[in-house]
Amino acid sequence: MSHDFDMGDWAPDQVAEVDGSTVYFWVMPANVSGAWEWTMPDQAGSGRCVLKMDQEYQYAAGTLHEGSSKTPLRDVRITGRTLSFTVDQKVNGKVVPMYYEGIVDDSSIEGFVKANDGSLSEPMAWKAQRDPSTRTPIDRPADVEM
């Protein structure tokens, strides 16, 4: 939190006017940059997945690589240690928007994935590991090939 001073190019998460002063508020985001890998359970497609993320402060973008396909992420959010995003994936032969949410702990993300269209009856556990050599500082993002 800051009173009357921002942090340059790092946009605040919230801004409020209090008694004639501007108050800025930031939530320190987890670093989600780099390449993350996991294997999807058979009921939600199957196979090796690689998530490639680029990040600047609390904003991130990325792509999901499955075999030869590369799909951009939508609605990427980082709030503290929580990462969430939506990506289209094949489930039982059809393309389904899949919602991922997880808690970032250095080089792992653990959480759940569910189909936004209800094609999977229950959310499934999801755990990804980051290749530590792909992590970049969030205030100086490297060019991550997406």
4 within a domain of the structure (yes/no): no
Count of structural domains within the chain: 1
Q: Which domain holds residue 83?
A: 34-134
1 within a domain of the structure (yes/no): no
84 within a domain of the structure (yes/no): yes
What pTM value is reported for the model?
Answer: 0.86
The per-residue pLDDT for 146 is 44
> In whole numbers, what is the pLDDT of the chain averaged over residues?
88
Q: Is the pLDDT higher at 105 or at 145?
A: 105
The per-residue pLDDT for 76 is 97
52 within a domain of the structure (yes/no): yes
93 within a domain of the structure (yes/no): yes
17 within a domain of the structure (yes/no): no
24 within a domain of the structure (yes/no): no
The per-residue pLDDT for 8 is 81
Residue 42 above 70 pLDDT?
no
pLDDT in tens, 84-103: 999 998 877 888 999 999 99
67 within a domain of the structure (yes/no): yes
3-state secondary structure of 132: helix
DSSP bridge partners of 11:
none
Residue 44 above 60 pLDDT?
no
Residue 47 above 90 pLDDT?
no
The per-residue pLDDT for 11 is 87
CB-based contact 127:108 (threshold 8 Å): yes
Pairing mode of beta strands 124-130, 108-115 = antiparallel
Average pLDDT estimate for 116-127:
85
One-letter amino acid of 28: M
Edge-to-edge strands, sheet with 14-18: 2-3, 21-25, 14-18
